[in-house]
A = this chain, B = another copy of it.
Amino acid sequence: MTWVTGANGSPYGVTNLPYGVFRHGGHEPRIGVRIGDAVLDLAGAEAAGLVLAGGALGRPTLNGFMALGRPQWTAVRQRVTELLTDVTHRPVVEPLLVPIAEVELLLPFEVADYVDFYSSEHHASNVGQIFRPGQPPLLPNWRHLPVGYHGRAGTVVVSGTPVVRPRGQRGTPDGPVTGPSVRLDIEAEVGFVVGVPSPLGEPVAVADFADHVFGVVLVNDWSARDIQAWEYQPLGPFLGKSFATSVSAWVTPLDALGAAFVPAPVQDPPVVEYLRDEPHLGLDLRLAVDWNGQRVAEPPFAAMYWTPAQQLAHLTVNGASLRTGDLYASGTVSGPQRGQVGSFLELTWGGAEPVTVGGESRTFLADGDTVTLTATAPGPDGGTIALGEVTGTIRPPR
């Protein structure tokens, strides 16, 4: 129970406490923690000696704090919990609360490298059936390793940033044409944010996941399907993705997700040794996709074939180093049913089966459309916690 008005029973209660970076009243950007409908100014709290983090909370991104490591993450979370639950602290802490309606939320961390996986069996199967009908939907490597690729870190933007419809080449029967994308799509994903780096040449074991990963964000990996389809052979997606990738303004710490770890789907065939995790745990995050305010899908993250610990071990098995701020996303989250898919490509089966949104028949994104991804997870006390939403509106091409 917290003394913060209205926060008990909120999905942003005292068992959640996600981190973000905000601007308020002309101050420089600073780190805060969300509690109910308020933001606790952690820079102010550290300056007042209420929390100790070696000055890391006074910076304009989470990177310095995330680099400190799990013991420090846990200590700060415990101390913040104490400040927000013990009423004796209320007189000094309450002045550090800012109503969320008054703040501007910024990109919470500086993204080092951005990797995107492809770890939903349902998504990969759907895409295979749509693009390679009559062939085996999964390629031969898919059950042996979490397929992934690098994306563009410099175009990762915070929730709320408008997305300008990208221009580019698409193939037509008469040859390529250049113009605004006509098949602009979303991908509902979950992203994992690395805090503690690793040295070049040294793989990170599946068991060391929680030593390196600080927390979780929601991700919308906007995708121009027409640009992607024409460009991607043989080196993978490039401009079909690199125009914008939106992340939530709040990073939910792993410490808040203890009750959300659940057994992941059994993997068959068995995976090679460096990918073996015991216990084999995924996360019971329940995503939702709202298209212009209308719920169109509820993708279950617990159905993901590859776990975040396996993804991290794979990412580094070749000796690739990690840096603070590395972001790796799960790939589109899709469940077995049509109402559980994380992309409009799947929802409309390649555009062949339109859906009704706001009374109109629709396939891909129109200018002015807004897509909002949200997610909840079981909280540690039997309640529910919310991940930060990620939203974006499509602007016409320039």
A155 part of interface (Cβ distance < 8 Å):
yes
Interface residue total, chain A, C-beta cutoff 8 A: 65
Contacting residues, chain B, for A177 (C-beta < 8 A): 272
Interface presence of A323 (CB below 8 A): yes
Contacts of A202 in B (CB 8 A): 398
A227 CB to nearest B CB, Å: 7
Give the residues from 137 to 180 in chain A that come closer than 8 angstroms, CB to CB, to chain B.
139-141, 144-145, 147-155, 157, 164, 166-169, 171, 175-178
Q: Is the interface of A mostly helix, strand, loop or mixed?
A: loop
- Binary interface profile of A, 295-314, with partner B (CB < 8 Å = 1, else 0)? 00000000000000000001
Chain B hits for A141, CB < 8 A: 169, 171, 176, 230-231, 233
Nearest CB of chain B from residue A223's CB, rounded to whole Å: 11
CB of A359, distance to nearest CB on chain B (Å): 30
Instruction: Give A142 to B141 CA distance when docked, in angstroms.
Output: 25
- Residue ranges of A at the interface with B (Cβ–Cβ < 8 Å): 112-113, 115, 118, 139-141, 144-145, 147-155, 157, 164, 166-169, 171, 175-178, 200-203, 224, 227, 230-240, 242-244, 269, 272-274, 314-315, 317-323, 326, 395, 398
B168 and A238 contact, CB distance less than 8 A: no
Say yes or no: B319 contacts A167, CB within 8 Å.
Answer: yes
- The reply to whether A178 and B274 contact each other, CB–CB distance below 8 Å, is yes
A150 touching B147 by the CB < 8 A rule?
no
Decide if B153 touches A272 in the complex (CB within 8 Å).
no
Q: Are A112 and B154 in contact (CB under 8 A)?
A: yes
Instruction: Report chain B residues within 8 Å CB of A234.
Output: 139, 147, 232, 236
**How far apart sit A326 and B398, CA to CA, in the bound complex (Å)?**
24
Question: What residues of B have a CB within 8 angstroms of the CB of A398 in the complex?
Answer: 201-202, 319
How far apart are A13's CB and chain B's nearest CB, in angstroms? 35
Look across to chain B and name the residue whose beta carbon is closest to the beta carbon of A139: B233
The distance from the CB of A201 to the nearest CB of chain B, in whole angstroms, is 4
Are B320's CB and A239's CB within 8 A? yes
Closest B residue to A274 by beta carbon equals: B178
Q: Are A231 and B145 in contact (CB under 8 A)?
A: yes
Q: Is the CB of B235 within 8 A of A168?
A: no
Contact assessment for B154 and A113 in the assembled complex, using a CB-CB cutoff below 8 Å: yes
CB distance from A129 to the nearest CB of B (A): 13
Complex A-B, nearest 4 residue pairs according to Cβ-Cβ distance, in ascending order: A236-B236, A166-B318, A164-B201, A149-B235
Chain B residue contacts of A323, Cβ below 8 A: 154
Is A152 a contact of B236 with CB atoms below 8 Å?
A: no
Residue pair B201, A168 in contact (C-beta under 8 Å): no
Q: Which residues of B contact A236 (CB under 8 A)?
A: 149, 232, 234-237
A166 to B319, Cβ gap below 8 A? yes
